[in-house]
Structure formats: C-alpha cells, structure tokens
Structure 1
C-alpha cells in the first residue's frame, strides 16, 4: 500500500490539523477530533448550532462544511468508524449555547447510537438538542424499509438547508424541521468502479473484476444492490436517475436540485460527463433542475465511482440552498442553466476554388493512400513507443492523420502546392498535441516553396524548408531525440540523391533509409525536449516515437 501518510493511527488527527492550518476560519479542539468555527460569539449570542460528523475517509466531509451558513462543528471518528459519544458531546459543548443544537446524522448504527446518546447527555446539561437522521440511499429500498436506508452523499444538501435555517435565526425545532424536510425529499444512489483501501488495513475492502461494477454501494464499500458489467456512463446514469425518481415519486412538473458526487478517485472529466447526462435525463423526464453541482463532496477514500443525489425542491428549499455560506468545501452557486448554451464559432476561410486535377494527381493519390495505410498498420507499435516515454497517444494521432489524408477534398489536387497546403490544413484540424502543428507548419511552408510544375530540385528544397519549419516551431535540433532526428538526415539524403541525378523513386528510397537509421539512432540519445525529456536517461533504449512515425510514412512513399 502506497499512501501519503505517516502512522495510520494518526491519520485523522493529522488530516484535521492540516485542514485547520489551511483555513483560518476553523479551529480544532485540543483533546478531540472535532473541528469548530473559530471565533464563535459568546454562548448567549449563538444561533442554533448545526453539527454533523461520522467516520473519517469521506473528505471533504464533514469538517470541510464547517463555516457560516453551514455547520458550526464537525466530529470525526477513525476511518469509517463512528466518533465516540464523548467526542460528539465535546463538539456540542464547544458550539452550542442556550439556543441549542441540531445533529445531522447519517443512518448508520454507530452514528445513531453515539450522536443519539450525546444528544441525551446534552439535554441533561440544559442544551436543547435535536437529532435529524438522513437515509437518502435508494439502492436497497425494494428490499428494506426506507427508514433503514443508509445516509450517503445527499447529506451535504441537508447540511446546507439546516445551516441556512440556523443562520436565519430559527429556533432549534425550526432548524430540525427544515433539515428533516430536506432529508425526506432526498434520494441518492451510487456506483463503484473500484474498491477503496482503508489505511489501517492496507488492502482493498472488496474486489471487483476487470469488467465489474457495484451498483448502489454504500460509502464504506458495503455491498450494493447488484454486481453488473461495466457500461457507458450514460447508461449507468440513466439507471441511477430512474431508481431515484421512482423512490421519490418525482415526474413531470417537479423541481429539483442535483448533486453529482465523486467517491474519491473520480476525475472532474468523468464527473462532468455524468452531470451532463444526469441533467439531460432529469429534463427528459419532465423535471426542472433548479440547482446543480458536480465535484467530490462526500467520498469513500480512494474509491473510483460516483453517486447522484436528487433533492425535490420548492421555494423554501431553494432559499436554503441559495443562502450565503462559506466553508472550505462548499462550492456555492449552483444555479443551473435551463438548457445547454452553444454558440457558432467564426466561419472558416472559404476553401480553394476547385479546378482540374494536375497531371501528378494520380501519383499523389496513390502515395498518400500508401501513407495512410502504413500509419494505420503501425498504430500499435507507435502507441507502444510513445507510451514508454510519453502519453501513448501518437498511434491514435497517426490514425487520425490517416483519416484526414483519405478525406482530402478534391480541390486539393489542382497543383502540388495545393496538395501540400490542403494536407497541412487537414492534419492541423485532425491531430491534437504537438504532431498536428508540426506537420501542418512543415507542409504549409513547403507548399509555398513549390512552383506550378516543380522539378526534383524544387521538391528537395521544399523538403528542407519543411524540416527547418519544424525546427523553428519547436526549437529542437538534431540530437535532441525528436522527429527531426529522422527528418533532418532524410532531407539531406533526398537532396544528395537529386544532386547526383537519381530519379524520384531512388531519392525517396534514400530518404527512407536515412530516416530509419536516424529513428533507430534515437534509442541511444538522451531526450532534451518534449515529455520524454522528463525521463532523461531512463528513455534510453527505446526509439523516439515521432522519429519512428517519420520513417514509417517515408518508407510508404518510397514504395509507391
């Protein structure tokens, strides 16, 4: 197990110390793992204190929601373990005054017992205390009484509504009523793609096959409603939304808030894809999404996956969600656009006027078809070479280049210069990363070097212009372990062959041989530019992928 921790026994305390160090609005109790608002007023002037908590491992919950308009305090237990009664009581004493406290508790036995007993003890001390239990998980509602459902990520929205009610000055019963009203309107369901690792255990809490997912799991890795085969994000989101809407009995005309929550190891890219489909699915079922958020709000350590929460909303709920609040993990905002906004970009330049194909057009077509076929055939090798020193996308990029070559418009065949210019434009649009700009720049500059009917000497000069363009754009030189280590010797060999009076086929064959030798030589070079340079001498032994791609297409040209 590789974790950025010190001693597993001290993970929770050190995590809370780091959080408080970073946020001056927070304070940590000396003897308990309890985070409270710093600078609370005298007890007699305090509004109702809203507290929550539970086991650690769900960060940024719960301490991340301590702040004005949200929680007055958060009580943390060990990882996935309820905090003790004494810790909860210490939190109540630190935050509450005569106005009392409301404890928001997720529906797990340990949390209910410890928060419930702490509430009894607080009442005995004269602090009015209410407990609100959140049971928003809908995954198992066809098997168990809804009151026994687990409390999961939708709890964050209950924090917000309750915090707003407390900030507005409602009495303890009013704050509890607002929180219970939100909890009763709330449904959540999640899906796990991988298990999580508890630091003190050091191994995954459960196993999933390579193509397996767990639908409806709990936030501690508890089993869900079913194991299923991995499927596209849209299909999974549709399952989650359908189950949630059925449990809440929401349909056409309903208003709702949406929370898309990452479980700890899900990147924002995937959460945005999920949010996109969740919004579409809700709207497609006649639900108006008034507010929406996506991010990691209540996690399960390093689990990959997400949950979707839907809160049926009326004006009072929306007012609670919109009320001012400030806490480390609360994103604010949430107003969702009624529909996606798209705008038309500037019109592209008009394509060149079509004309009759030049005499060399058939040979150009055959040559470029051979290049496209060679790049497709070499995809796996180029991807492997690139993956050893970079991000592994060159093979896919060269396939996109092949697509662009094959889709070259008819007007591009009117002259050799038009062919190169059209090919440069096509590759610029088709290939991302660095390859697209390099090839496009090289081809566009070479096209300007050619006349109407270029001879081999003009082609040699254009080839050298293309190589110089790449060097100018990227700043590389031969020996830096880049595509130039294949292109530079190839251009020199082509020029020398032409100067010696050899024909086009022989000149291209000489260029291809030089490119292949240059690409092979890169295996012994230390990279000085690009992603491979981050590896330094660790990249030695593997040829440069960009140089290898040059050798591939030049060999294809030589074979026509």
Structure 2
C-alpha cells in the first residue's frame, strides 16, 4: 500500500535550492550563483573566469543524487556543478551560466551522464558557449552494465562510475594539461569503467507517496538512479550471492562492456544509493574483493566504499569496476579538496589483518612461569589464608547477594561474584604467593577470565591498579603502608573509569571508608592488624549505609528510593564482606 513518505523538508519545490544553501554554509570553499530558482550552480569559491588559468571541469544533471554532483566541486576535481530539479536535467541557461562563471582561456570540459535530457541540454549549452568564444569539449559517460547491448540510440546509462571520471579529469586539469588532453583522459577513463546497481526499495520523491512497486522479500537488479524499474526482479539473497551476480554481470565476456581480463588490475567502488547503512556497504566491499581476486583473477588496487551517487532515499548499492591503468591510479591518488571525495584511499595498502598483540610471556622477561612456591614465606602464608577466606565467604553469600540484587538490579550479583570466587580458589594453587604484587595481578587475570559482567571489569581494574602500585616492591615483603597505598590507588582507578564516587550507592561506599580508616590508623601508629580490622568494620558500616542513598550509577538508578531503602547495595555488601573476612583471617593467623 502506498503511503506519504516522511521527509525533513519544507516546500518540496525548494529542496534543491535549500540543499545548495546548506552545502555552501558547510563548505566555505564552495559558492553558488545568485540566480535561484532558475539557475542552480555550485562552483569553487577560489575560481572565476577572469582568474582561471586551467581547464574548467564542469558536470551536473538532475538533483536527488547527492553528494553528486555538487559534492565533488573543489580543487582537483570539478570546477562547477550544474544542478537541475530532482531527477530533471538542468536547463540550458543554467549550464551556460556555469560555463561563463568559471571558464578561462584554457576552456572547459563538460562531463555528462548518458541520459537524453542531459545530452541535449548540455549539448546546446556547449554549442552556444562556442558561439560566445569559449573552448568547450564534452565527454559522455555511459557505464551501465545491466542490460545487454545493443540499446539503440539510448545507449548505456551514466551511473556512479561517472564519479571516477570526474576525479581523473579534475586531476588532469589541475596538472595544467590543455583541454584536448584533459578531454582525452576523461574519455579514456569512461571507457574503462562499468557499473551495475541493485535496489532493495524504491526511492521516494519529495512530497510524493512511496511506491509499493517492489514487494517484500524482493530486490531489483540492474536499475538506474532515477527510480525507474530494474532489468529484473529477484528474491532477496545473502549479500555474497548478490555481489557475485553483479560482478559476473559487469565482467561478462559476452557483453564485453569493460576491457578487463584475468590477470589484470582493477579499482572497486561500492556505492550506496541513499538509504543503505555504511555497515552493509562495507560488508559488500569485503565480499567483493576476494571474489574479484579468486573468481575473476584480478588484483584490486583501490577500494572506494561509501555514498557517492544516490537515488534519493533508495536502499541498495551499485558496484563499479574500473581497469587500473597506472595513469588512472595517478589521477585518482592526486590530492583534491572536493568535500565528498573519500580521503585515506591511496596506493599504500598494508596487510588487512595483523596478529593480536599479546603481553610478554614470563619467559620473555627472563623469569620462570608463575607458579605456587614450594615453600611459602610468612607473607605467602598470610596471603593464602586471606584469599581463601575471602573467596569462601563470597561463595556462602551467593544467595543473599542475588536476593538483594533482584530487588534493585538484575538479580545476578551473587552468581557473578560466585564465579569469580570459585575461579580464584581453583587458580590459587598456581599463584606466586611469596610475591604479593604478582599474586594480586594473577587474581585480576582470574577475575577477567571467569567473572564477566560489569563487576568483573570493576574488580579487574581494582586488581590491576593495585598491581601497578605494588609492582616496584615485587619480590619483597609489602609493608602495611604500601598495602594502604595500593588500596587507595585501586579505589581511585575504579572511580575514574566507572564514574562513581562517594554516595553513589556502589561498592565504593564500602571501600572509601575502609581506605580512610586504614590510612588514618596506620598514620597514627596503630598496630597494622588492628588497623586492618577496624577498616573492615568501616567497610561494613559503609555498605549498610547504602540503604539511605539514592543510586546514581548502575541499574539501581531506575529503582525507587522506597525500594532502595529496604536493602543495601549488593556490590557494597560483597566487597565489605570479603574485606572483613580477610581482615579477621589475618588477625586469627597472627593470634595462633
């Protein structure tokens, strides 16, 4: 069923002039002739007929193909673009105005897509310009490969391959070549390129209803850029199949539309028709390259993927293949200031993929792989009992954590913490417990591998920050002050990357008071074990106080304050519980 399309426009009759106004505001290097609405010409702001000492390259046609053609106006490409109404050839007077505005003594080249209206209007304008004394040459581009020859007097349609011809001609003109040579290069380029389009939807003209010509699950093969029907309608297939069909059509030896044979080198352009996401265009490009290489025996020297010549809002794409002669590559690689020409595409093409970097192995650093020492030092024994006790208490707390989290979160805090604790208990047999810094680092690695979720990332950051702080003391006994500094560094890292701070109802509301009390007691000369236990009491108190806090981080932010007041923050309770258990275990160790 047809329906009125939604468009971000004002009066449908003004879309082209308002597009041009927005274009020149966006790109200061462009201007337009003050002749709206009849004359719609975009030109380089740095060029005039009085100052232009190079060949002017002019193109254009009906609008609705943006960024073509105005988006390719700029040094090294087009000197001017003549804009018609949507899907309508520009009038002769408009074309003449463009010629007069930018053509100097070197003359101008008109690049015209092969449509009857464009050929007639640009042709008449060229003849009139010659009468006025201008040097004018014309190159007609017909790169369509969808229909078998012959096509009568109509010939092949001009499609996205025209953009490559623009670039070749613009670079030749910028190099200072005379008109005859610029025209010859453009004509030669037009003979080397072939294009075929595929439509997933029908385009909608401004102010018009959307056609229901193309039914669900159908695509059109071999369509033009003016909303006309394609050469054939087919069922929607995976992009692999569609790309393969298009390449076979363009490179068919039966039609011989392009002079490309096995063993040759080519340029690939994958062009969106206006409503196709870049993701899908990149998928098509990624599938086209290996097919060109493996199925057609062609080396691919350049790949241009993006939206170059559209059909308003049509979903679909076209593929253009051009023979990559060295002079063509030189022109395509030449610099340009045209705003819509793709940057970052030149002859430098390193391998498309490289190995994932891995951290240096222990052996590469001259050390043995991490493993549990045969005999534990006093520090190693303390670490072992603290880690095991902290992990076991989390196992026992699983159901309570899940219950709390089901009220204020997604209900899996206990399960997530359980996975991490279980993995730590399994991996502790390989921890280098006599080296506190490396042990903390290994705990972080275990959590990263096994825990998952946001909690897993937070605890990994916590451990890695502590390791960075402790690393200078690796291999020696860590002092209580160094442990306190490591705790403070871990808290700072979690706050920095997680964005939370005190009062946000997170695990920091348990860790921050613990860190504060620990440093305060140690600075006051308190026994380190006592300071550890007192700080664990502060952690528990802080966790309980989260009941009175309004959540400002995590899923709890979507929960009402009334419900939040019934349970503590599960993450805060988890960290306070294992921290408290570790402190009491260390205290018991030194009592025994």
Q: TM-score, normalised by structure 1?
A: 0.67
Is the contact between residue 135 and residue 146 of structure 1 (CA under 8 Å) also seen in structure 2?
no
State the partner residue of 1:316: 327
| Pair 1:288 & 2:299 matched | yes
Classify 1:99/1:478 alpha carbon distance in 2 versus 1 (closer, same or farther; 3 Å).
Answer: closer
Distance 1:297 1:433 in 2: 41
1:157 aligns with 2:168: no
**1:97-116 correspondence runs (5 A):** 97-116=104-123
Paired with 2:422 and 2:312, the residues of 1 have a C-alpha distance of 48
Q: Distance in 1 between matches of 2:314 and 2:115?
A: 20
How far does residue 129 in structure 1 lie from its aligned partner after superposition? 2.9
Distance 1:434 1:316, change over 3 A: same
Q: Is the counterpart of residue 65 in structure 1 residue 72 in structure 2?
A: yes
1:336-394 C-alpha deviation (Å, 9 max, x unpaired): 445525444543365975789x9x99xx99x99xx9xxx9xxxxxx9xx9xxxxxxxxx
Query: Is residue 474 of structure 2 the alignment partner of residue 474 of structure 1?
Result: no
2:250 matched to which residue of 1?
Answer: 244
| Preserved contact between residue 198 and residue 205 of structure 1 (Cα < 8 Å) | no
Say which of 24, 30, 33 aligns to 1:29: 33
Q: Contact 1:401/1:427 (CA < 8 Å) preserved in 2?
A: no
CA, structure 1 residues 96+427, in 2 after alignment: closer, same or farther (shift >3 Å)?
farther
Q: Partner of 2:8 in structure 1?
A: 4
**1:180 CA displacement:** 1.6
**Aligned partner of residue 148 in structure 1, secondary structure:** coil
Aligned partner of 2:47 in structure 1 is 40
Q: What's the offset of the Cα at 1:52?
A: 0.7
1:497 aligned residue: none
Between the aligned partners of 1:403 and 1:94, the Cα distance in structure 2 is 73
SS in 1 for 2:22: helix
The structural deviation recorded for 1:324 is: 3.9
TM-superposed CA distance for 1:115, in Å, is 1.7
Cα drift, residue 237 of structure 1? 3.0
Match of 2:316 in 1: 305
Give the deviation of 1:29 after TM superposition. Answer: 1.1
Aligned CA RMSD, in angstroms, stands at: 5.5
Find the residue that maps to 1:67 and give its secondary structure: coil
CA contact (8 A) 1:82 1:110 kept: yes
The structural deviation recorded for 1:134 is: 1.3
- Residue 86 (structure 1) aligned with residue 93 (structure 2): yes
Q: Which residue of 1 aligns with 2:514?
A: none
Give how far 1:106 is off: 1.4
Report what 1:254 is aligned to: 264
Q: Distance in 2 between matches of 1:214 and 1:419?
A: 62
> Equivalents in 1 of 2:420, 2:119: separation in Å?
62
Gaps of 5+ in 2: 363-368, 374-383, 403-408, 468-489, 511-542, 572-592
Q: Which residue of 2 aligns with 1:553?
A: none
| Per-residue deviation, residues 261-313 of structure 1 (Å, max 9, x unmatched) | 22234444443333333333333333233333222222223333332211112
Q: 3-state DSSP class of the match of 2:351? A: coil
Report the Cα distance in structure 2 between the residues aligned to 1:267 and 1:407, rounded to whole angstroms: 42
Identify if the C-alpha distance between structure 1 residues 321 and 467 changes in structure 2 by more than 3 Å, giving closer, same or farther.
closer
Equivalent position of 1:127 in the other structure: 134
1:229 lines up with 2:249 in the alignment: no
CA gap of 1:334–1:408, structure 2 versus 1, over 3 A, is farther
State the Cα deviation string for residues 198-240 of structure 1 (Å, max 9, x = none): 2232x434565564443333223333343331414x4433333
**Matched residue, 1:329:** 340
Q: Which runs of 5+ in 1 are unaligned?
A: 376-381, 386-394, 448-465, 490-513, 551-560
Query: Per-residue deviation at 1:41?
Result: 5.0
Question: 1:264 — aligned with what?
Answer: 274
Equivalent runs, 1:498-509 vs 2, <5 Å: none
CA 423–112 in structure 1, closer or farther in 2 if over 3 Å, else same: farther
Match among 190, 194, 202 for residue 187 of structure 1 = 194
Q: Which has the larger radius of gyration?
A: 2
Q: Which piece of structure 1 moves more, 152-161 or 325-334? A: 325-334
Is contact 1:259-1:308 (8 Å) kept? yes
- Give the whole-Å Cα distance in 1 for the aligned partners of 2:130 and 2:293: 45
The equivalent of 2:210 in structure 1 is 204
Q: Write the mapping of 1:353-364 to structure 2, written as runs, cut at 5 A.
A: none
Cα deviation for residue 83 of structure 1 reads 1.3
**Cα distance in 2, alignment partners of residues 20 and 475 from structure 1:** 41
Match of 2:287 among 277, 298, 302: 277
The residue aligned with 1:216 is 222
